[in-house]
A and B are shown apart, each in its own frame.
Chain A
Amino acid sequence: MGLLKKIFGANAAIQQLPSGSVTVDSSGEVITSTVSSEFPKSLLREIARDVLELFREARADQMPLAELTLQFASLRVSARELRGGAVIFLFPQSALSATSKGTNL
């Protein structure tokens, strides 16, 4: 008994994937969020900043983007550019989620 605790430590915990929407300004500060408060705010901010960086890099490379979708195996991140900021939607994916079809672009 307690084998897993010995291996992973007593504080090991499974982090739930974020679900909901976030609106961020151009500096990456979260303005509004419907993501569970259990999800670390700092992490949410980091995701938002990374998404903004993707938009910024695209703009710098002369291909300004209005929308982005990052499809991971277990999470889908959709973002719409809003005057330098963005509204970001986070959808955890399950085996039943339609990941390969539909409006992925």
Chain B
Amino acid sequence: METRHKILILDDDQDWLELSREMLKQLPSKPEIRTANSGSRALAMLDTEPYRLLICDLKMPRIDGLQVLAIVRRRFPELRTVVLSGLEDEEFRSRSYALGVDLFWLKSEMQRNTQMFLDCLESLIGRDSEGGFRGIQSKSLMDIIQMECLSRSSTVLRITRGPLVAKLWIHDGELIDAETEGARGEAAFRRILGWKSGTFENLPAEQNHERTIHKPVNALLLESAQAIDENADTDTTEQTVQIHRKTVWKLAVLTREGADFVVAVLPDGTMESLGTQTQNAEHCAKWMRRAEEIVKRISTKIEAGPLLHIGASNMERRLLLLPRENKSFLIGWSPEQADNSTLEKSKKIAASWDS
């Protein structure tokens, strides 16, 4: 059944509320229209039921519109917001956008261009729950980052999603660092890209900020886009989504490095495999377990030190066995892909496996 979205209009002018209500009835999606004449009343209404859109005046007694928007940003990050104000000062427009509103319209403009205003509102409420980042017309975070990088700008993007705050440092169009929830670098960037909605603002660039991300931003975005696509199915449980995300991430790493497959064996003997030609994974895992036993025996006999890796090859394949404390990896390469950097690439795959 199609659900009707709810719109809340907040203004201290009762006549304006009635006028707006009549006007919004013209919206093609026929949303439910509610009104509130004070900030506290609006916040109470937002608490009681989910709204799609808040249309907010700025100049109001007690709690003004900017204060309401600041609270809304933290408490209802999914809620789309529009400022409809009579204040023609540009400062209010920029302060509103800094708070992450989707649209800023002057009441006078709205009356002159009613149809355009309604089209904008319809577009906002019609945009489904894929989310988006407020600040530039609900673009996705990927779009925003790409725009910053393509314009070769230097900036710090501060992204807020409810209580979570993240920062992305962009220098001359290159993503150099990311930080959120105690994570830094690529790990933080991946986590941030997982956010479906929020708000962002541009802070001044920080010169001489330490670089922790060396991979091109497009490669990172591609990996994350694959992971997000996989997560689009909202019917799956969170756990399944996590597994999917992990699997896609692992496949992305595997593909990027050019390996054919990975077989990982845990100390308890269980195994997992990924990639092409994994039909033989059980056999590979068995050989890995035996090989480690045999090699340990050799090492003990001649006191050659710990095993660093085992390389193996035949006409069809190159294999690299990397023993790790909690897991051993067998990484398969085609002869064409295997070269002097294979060991380093394999180590990278193993290192990123559980990250």
Contacts and interface: CB of A to CB of B under 8 A. Distances in A.
Interface of A: 15, 17-18, 43, 46-47, 50-51, 53-54, 57-58, 61-75, 77, 99-105
Max chain A Cβ within 10 angstroms of own Cβ: one of B286, B294, B301, B311: B311
B61 interface: no
A70 B295 contact: yes
Given A50-B294, A72-B306, A102 B340 contact: yes
Given A54-B295, A100-B344, 18 more contacts: A17-B302, A43-B302, A50-B297, A51-B298, A54-B290, A61-B286, A62-B283, A63-B280, A65-B312, A68-B310, A68-B311, A71-B307, A71-B310, A72-B307, A73-B305, A100-B343, A101-B343, A105-B312
B314 A70 contact: no
A63 B284 contact: yes
Contacts of A46: 298, 301
A70 B298 contact: yes
A105 B302 contact: no
Contacts, number: 108
Q: Is the interface of B mostly helix, strand, loop or mixed?
A: mixed
B312 A103 contact: no
Contacts of B297: 50
Max chain B Cβ within 10 angstroms of own Cβ: one of A17, A54, A64: A54
Contacts of A51: 298
A53 B298 CA distance: 12
A57 to B, nearest CB: 5
Interface in B238-258: none
Interface residues of B, number: 37
A91 to B, nearest CB: 11
Contacts of A104: 309, 311, 320, 342-343
B336 interface: no
B315 interface: yes
Contacts of B320: 104-105
Max chain B Cβ within 10 angstroms of own Cβ: one of A72, A73, A100: A72
A17 B343 contact: no
A54 B294 contact: yes
Contacts of A99: 308
B301 A70 contact: no
B338 A105 contact: yes
Contacts of A77: 298
16 contacts: A15-B302, A58-B312, A61-B283, A61-B284, A62-B283, A63-B287, A64-B314, A65-B314, A71-B309, A71-B310, A72-B308, A75-B305, A101-B340, A103-B340, A105-B338, A105-B342
A94 to B, nearest CB: 12
